[in-house]
């Protein structure tokens, strides 16, 4: 069950929501792409529905709305630590079906994998999610293959349709914003795609023996280790720690956690100067097997949700989708 409201009414609702929520959505950042006069779509706080990039998939995922790229865990003085306070506002995050499936993976890592993560949890509890449907497939996505093309796990579904907005609200908390409005009841089903341009079959028999596969070196020799695939990935959750000692007084500072990439130098460095995975091939193997093998062994479903962002961003045109399809083909 859902309803249709005028764009004007929807804008008024949005204005009301803003009082209580920080609203994050994919936005076009003009001129902020890698190259001159190119744009980038990434998440940012928005002040109106107009700011949302509804047509194209975001280059960077929603995860930065929940897991800051740099997060201060605590400030320290000589004998005290202080945990920074969390925002008073609630969060409303616009995302797509694949991203909602990714959210399940983030929850698994941060909430169901041993002790709950304090920082993730306190933001996650404040967050509600608005599904943006997909009326057509993006170029590199393979969500259908990964079963991430459809979801009913949203708090709100919102479709902008010219002068009208179609809404389906599942959350009691948000429902209040739509009551007493001039709306027309109508059946609203979230748009989703049933076909992608990319179809990916997962290999089913990966094992430690897969380490010997020459495919890792063949892709690894092309990889420049920039980490873009990890940073755009909605399911990559690795971070590293940084202790910052303020320059004016080195006894005072802060501890931060910062996104890390298993493809970038330093990721497996350990005390004593050793490093576990030195070559890009080994790092590629680690990433791919984590996405479609190790994670599944622990949680029962693969980590990758097939959003295709890693394929779209790779400056060396390495296709992760093609790599795993090749692994599957070799098994057959």
Partner 1 sequence: MGLDINTKKAKKNAFRISKERGIGASRIRVPGGYLKAEILGMVQEIAEKYGNGIVHLTTRQGFEIEGIHLEDMDAINEMLQPIIELLDINQQDEGTGYPASGTRNITACIGNNVCPFANYNTASFAKRVEKEIFPNDLHFKVAFTGCPNDCGKVRLHDFGIIGMTMPQYDPSRCVNCQACVKGCKSLSVNALRVENYKIVRDEEKCIGCGVCITKCPTRAFTRSKQKYYKLTLMGRTGKKNPRLGEDFLIWADEDSIVKIILNTYRFVKEYIDPKAPGGKEHIGYIIDRVGFEEFKKWALEGVELLPETKMKECVYWNGIHFDR
Q: What is the DSSP letter of 196?
A: -
Containing H/E element for 6?
strand 2-6
Please report how close the Cβ of residue 315 comes to partner 1 at its closest, in angstroms: 9
Closer residue to partner 1 (CB): 67 or 156: 67
Sheet strands side by side (includes 184-186): 40-45, 21-29, 90-95, 127-131, 156-161, 164-169, 2-6, 184-186
Closer residue to partner 1 (CB): 264 or 328: 264
Containing H/E element for 280?
helix 280-289
Candidates 151, 157, 146; CA nearest to 308 is 146
SS3 232: helix
Answer whether 312's CB lies under 8 Å from 140's CB: yes
Establish if 28 lies at the interface with partner 1 (CB under 8 A).
no
Segment contacting partner 1 (CB under 8 A): 127-135, 136-144, 145-153, 241-249?
241-249
Please report how close the Cβ of residue 244 comes to partner 1 at its closest, in angstroms: 5
Establish if 242 lies at the interface with partner 1 (CB under 8 A).
yes
Residue of the chain from 260, 307, 324, 327 that contacts partner 1 (CB under 8 A) = 260
Answer whether 42's CB lies under 8 Å from 33's CB: no
Answer whether 326's CB lies under 8 Å from 320's CB: no
Segment contacting partner 1 (CB under 8 A): 15-23, 31-39, 103-111, 302-310?
31-39
SS3 201: coil
* 327 vs 330: CA distance, rounded Å: 5
Please report how close the Cβ of residue 280 comes to partner 1 at its closest, in angstroms: 14
Please report how close the Cβ of residue 88 comes to partner 1 at its closest, in angstroms: 20
Please report how close the Cβ of residue 173 comes to partner 1 at its closest, in angstroms: 29
CB burial of residue 82 (10 Å; 0-12, 13-18, 19+): exposed
- Both ends of the chain: CA-CA distance in Å? 45
Residue of the chain from 119, 129, 192, 259 that contacts partner 1 (CB under 8 A) = 259
Number of residues this chain uses to bind partner 1 (CB under 8 A): 28
Segment contacting partner 1 (CB under 8 A): 129-137, 215-223, 237-245, 280-288?
237-245
Q: Which residue in the block uniquely carries the two structure tokens 């390495």?
A: 318
Please report how close the Cβ of residue 36 comes to partner 1 at its closest, in angstroms: 4
SS3 256: strand
Containing H/E element for 217?
helix 215-220
Please report how close the Cβ of residue 277 comes to partner 1 at its closest, in angstroms: 16
* 119 vs 137: CA distance, rounded Å: 34
Closer residue to partner 1 (CB): 180 or 247: 247
Segment contacting partner 1 (CB under 8 A): 20-28, 36-44, 190-198, 205-213?
36-44
Segment contacting partner 1 (CB under 8 A): 28-36, 87-95, 165-173, 301-309?
28-36
Establish if 286 lies at the interface with partner 1 (CB under 8 A).
no
Query: Regarding beta strands 239-245 and 253-259, do their DSSP bridges make them parallel or antiparallel, or are they unpaired?
Result: antiparallel
Residue of the chain from 73, 111, 215, 264 that contacts partner 1 (CB under 8 A) = 264
Please report how close the Cβ of residue 225 comes to partner 1 at its closest, in angstroms: 9
SS3 283: helix
Establish if 73 lies at the interface with partner 1 (CB under 8 A).
no
* 315 vs 195: CA distance, rounded Å: 26
Q: Which residue in the block uniquely carries the two structure tokens 């490093």?
A: 275
Establish if 317 lies at the interface with partner 1 (CB under 8 A).
no
Please report how close the Cβ of residue 226 comes to partner 1 at its closest, in angstroms: 5
Residues that bind partner 1 (CB under 8 A): 29, 31-32, 34-37, 40, 42, 60, 68-70, 226-228, 231, 242, 244-245, 247, 256, 258-261, 264-265
């Amino acid at each position: 069950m859902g309803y249709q409201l005028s764009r004007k009414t929807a804008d008024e609702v949005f204005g009301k929501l803003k009082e209580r929520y920080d609203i994050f959505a994919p936005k076009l950042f003009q001129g902020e792409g890698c190259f001159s006069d190119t744009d980038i779509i990434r998440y940012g706080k928005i002040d109106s529905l107009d700011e949302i990039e509804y047509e194209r998939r975001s280059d960077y995922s929603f995860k930065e709305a929940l897991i800051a790229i740099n997060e201060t865990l605590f400030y320290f003085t000589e004998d005290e630590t202080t945990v920074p306070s969390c925002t008073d506002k609630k969060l409303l995050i616009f995302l797509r079906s694949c991203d909602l499936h990714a959210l399940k993976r983030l929850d698994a890592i941060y909430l169901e994998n041993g002790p709950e993560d304090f920082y993730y949890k306190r933001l996650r509890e404040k967050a509600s999610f608005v599904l943006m449907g997909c009326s057509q497939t993006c170029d590199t996505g393979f969500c259908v293959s990964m079963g991430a093309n459809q979801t009913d796990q949203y708090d709100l579904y919102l479709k902008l349709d010219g002068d009208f907005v179609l809404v389906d609200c599942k959350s009691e908390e948000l429902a209040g914003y739509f009551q007493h409005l001039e709306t027309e009841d109508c059946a609203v089903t979230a748009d989703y795609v049933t076909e992608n341009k990319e179809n990916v079959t997962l290999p089913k028999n990966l094992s430690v023996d897969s380490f010997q596969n020459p495919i890792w070196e063949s892709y690894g020799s092309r990889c420049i280790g920039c980490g873009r695939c990890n940073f755009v990935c909605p399911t990559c959750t690795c971070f590293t720690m940084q202790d910052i000692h303020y320059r004016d007084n080195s006894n005072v500072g802060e501890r931060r956690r910062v996104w890390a990439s298993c493809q970038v130098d330093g990721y497996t460095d350990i005390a004593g100067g050793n490093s576990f995975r030195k070559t890009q091939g080994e790092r590629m193997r680690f990433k791919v097997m984590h996405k479609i093998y190790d994670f599944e062994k622990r949680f029962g479903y693969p980590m990758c949700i097939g959003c295709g962002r890693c394929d779209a961003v790779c400056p060396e045109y390495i296709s992760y989708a093609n790599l795993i399809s090749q692994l599957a083909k070799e098994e057959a």
